[in-house]
Structures are given as structure tokens and as C-alpha cells.
Amino acid sequence: MRVAFYAPLKAPDHPVPSGDRRVARLILKAIKKAGHDVFIASRMRAFDSRGDTRHQNQIERRGRALAERFVKRHRDNPPDLWFTYHLYHKAPDWIGPAVAKTFSIPYVLAEASIAPKQAGGPWASGHEAVRAAIRYAAHICVMNPEDRECLAKELDKKVHLSALPPFIDTDPPRAATEAKRDLNRSVLQERFGIPPSNILIAVTAMMRSGDKLESYRTLGRTMAHLRDLSLTWLVAGDGPGRDDVVAAMGKSNVIYFGALDRAGIDNMHAAADLAVWPAYREAIGMALLEAQASGLPVVAGRTPGVAQIVEEGITGLLTTSGDDTMLALAIRRLVDEPALRLQMRSAAMNKARREHDIASATRYLDRVLEDAIRRAAA
């Protein structure tokens, strides 16, 4: 099957790393692993952050022109299916529906969200475009459980809705051997002068304004509750909000690694004792999934997306999002109970391999695509 792929918020090969880009790449990889010929149909970024109507109109015009150009270019060899990942009112899909209608091919979505309160607001045109897209879709893969209720209200019985759990590629395995864990830990201790008795806490997130910065600020308040403990915070991430993050968390007992690649993050996780993230308004929490796959118990803010990954009391502890006191108590519990950390470590690795590996996502997406084609031909 020939599949055209589009991510209106951020293309899979966008130069700026993010969780969104990571998921787009993983979906592409899963579709390829299923044996399909998938290609990036467009790299146009349809994102408007300001609610600027003039800018949105420019994006819409460009999107419609690109749709016409795509149709002309692929008229003799059209794709069998169009797949769009992550659209919402600030980043609608102006290309996919037009192409799918012209070629009479199935239109499939993953992580589509719609917010009724945006009707008539500064992103009204994007909101209506998303409504039209989800109503036209043959299938919608729901990655964030919070999206399901509003999506269901917009859909008729022809549109299929199913859950696609967050996933990563666990091959090669992320979890380190005990020898590697001891080595990574000793290297960090020697390099940064960390006392051997300190508990190492991993934090991985982009540094930007908005929800990410609010999570970092929650971490800063949480740290104030834990000053009596011997902790070292290992922070992987970078971005335009770096100075604000440092202001929130400080520099005492904090190591800022900047942006790390997969190997760097895996090495950091191999040295750490647990992973922590307040997850303020976090949709999915891919970094938490990577931490669990590496064998780290997780303490995180509870959102529906994060709760898919972190199983309360089994692979980690969940707290009320934004509650620094509750977050500190959960961290203190895992610091004080090494046996519980060890138990959760094993459970976290097993859950990642069993429920969140790319192999299961590959099978799921293959079924979705084949079903969409089959129903279109009926």
C-alpha cells in the first residue's frame, strides 16, 4: 500500500526536536515495518500560535495550493491512502482532505483533537477545518484519551474510532545491565562530584514557555520541599526557555545536560534511580515512556495520557498535576523505599515491552490501514 503521510504541526524531519516530531517519526517507522510504502506528502507547517486571522488565511491559501500541486504531481500514481498525524485548531490539515476527496482514497487520522470552545474564537477557521477533517476521516487513532469524548460527539457511525497507545522502539533494548548502570553512575559521580549516597533523579523535557515551563516551575517548588534529602537532579533538554528553567530549578544539585540524543538519554537513565515530571497538561508523556523502558520508576502528574503509561503503584506514582506538595511526598516515598523502586523498575520495563513497543503499534496500524482500504472498496 502506498501511504501519503502529513504532520501539520511539525514534519518528521523538522530540525527542532520535540515529542511531537518523535511520535511522527515512530508512526512513519511503524507503517514502514508493516510493509507499506509511506512517504512524506508535505512539510508545510500549518501552525499559528497567535490567533492571527491574517496568518491563518495565508496558511489556508498555501495549503490549498499545495493540495492542487500534489494532485497534479501524483495524478498518474496516486497514493492508496492519506494519513495525517496530529491536527487541532492551531494546526489544521488544509491538504489531506482535498487530496483524499480528489483521488477517492481513505483519509486516516492519528491524534486529532477538537475543542468546542474554539468555535467563533481566534482560531475559528482552524476549528472548522478540523471538524470537517474528522467528519471525513475513515478512521481516527486516538492517542490521548482526553480527545475521545469530543471526537465522538462530532462523528457519525461511518467513522471508526480506536485507541493507539503511546509507543517507542525498544530495539535495541533501552534497559542497561547492572554493570552498565554501575559504570554510568560512577562516571557521573566522578565527573560532577556527586556523593555516592545521593539519589539521582532524571528529568527530560523541552525547555519552552507554556505548559513545559509550568512543569519546570512545579519542579522548582517541589525541590524546596525536599532539601533535607540527598538528591541530584539530572536534566536533559534545551530550548528558548532555558534561562527560565534554570531560574525555576536553580543550580544547586542540578546538572543540566542540554539536548541529548537517544544514546545520551539512555545513558542518563542508566545512571538514575527514578524519573520525575509534573506533566502539567501533558498529552502523552513520551519521555516518561522512555524512562520506564530504561527501567526507571516514574513519579508524574496525573493526566489521562500519562496514566496510559504510568500504572499507579505498579510502575510509578501519580500525583495531582501542579501539586508540588503531593509530588514531593511521592518522590520522598520512593527515595525512602529502595525495595519498592526495584520492584517498580522491573514492572516498568515489562510494561513498556508488553504494551508500548513499536511491534504492537505496527500490527495495530496495519489493521487500521487495511480496514480503511477494504471499507473504501466495499
Say if CB 67 and CB 93 are below 8 A apart. Answer: no
Residue 158: per-residue pLDDT: 66
Domain boundaries, the chain: 2-167+357-377, 178-355
Q: Which of the four pLDDT bands, split at 50, 70 and 90, describes residue 157?
A: low
Residue 283: per-residue pLDDT: 84
Q: Which of the four pLDDT bands, split at 50, 70 and 90, describes residue 178?
A: confident
pLDDT digits (tens, 9 = 90+) for 84-138: 999 999 999 999 999 999 999 999 999 999 988 998 899 999 999 999 999 999 9
For 107, the 3-state DSSP assignment is strand
**pTM score, two decimals?**
0.89
- Kindly state which CATH superfamily the domain 178-355 is placed in: Glycogen Phosphorylase B; (3.40.50.2000)
- The DSSP annotation for 143-190 comes to -SGGGHHHHHHH--TTSEEEE----B--SS--PPPHHHHHHHHHHHHH
User: Phi first, then psi: what are they for 106, rounded to 5°?
Assistant: -65, 145
Q: Which of the four pLDDT bands, split at 50, 70 and 90, describes residue 285?
A: confident
Q: How many CB atoms lie within 10 A of CB 191?
A: 9
Q: Which of the four pLDDT bands, split at 50, 70 and 90, describes residue 217?
A: very high
172: preceding bond cis by omega (within 30 degrees): yes
Q: Which of the four pLDDT bands, split at 50, 70 and 90, describes residue 377?
A: confident
Q: How many CB atoms lie within 10 A of CB 131?
A: 17
Q: Which of the four pLDDT bands, split at 50, 70 and 90, describes residue 180?
A: confident
Q: Comparing 111-120, 229-238, 295-304, which segment has the lowest mean pLDDT?
A: 111-120
- In the CATH scheme, what is the code of domain 2-167+357-377? 3.40.50.2000
Asked if 2-167+357-377 and 178-355 have one fold, the answer is yes
Name every residue whose Cβ is closer than 8 Å to that of residue 214 and which is 6 or more positions away in sequence.
278, 280, 281, 322
Q: Which of the four pLDDT bands, split at 50, 70 and 90, describes residue 33?
A: very high
pLDDT digits (tens, 9 = 90+) for 318-342: 999 889 999 999 999 999 999 999 9
Helix, strand, coil percent content, the chain, rounded in steps of 5:
50, 20, 35
* Percent of the chain with pLDDT strictly greater than 90: 84
281, with CB counted inside 10 A (0-12, 13-18, 19+), is: middle
Residue 181: per-residue pLDDT: 86
Compute the mean pLDDT over every residue in the chain, rounded to the nearest whole number: 94
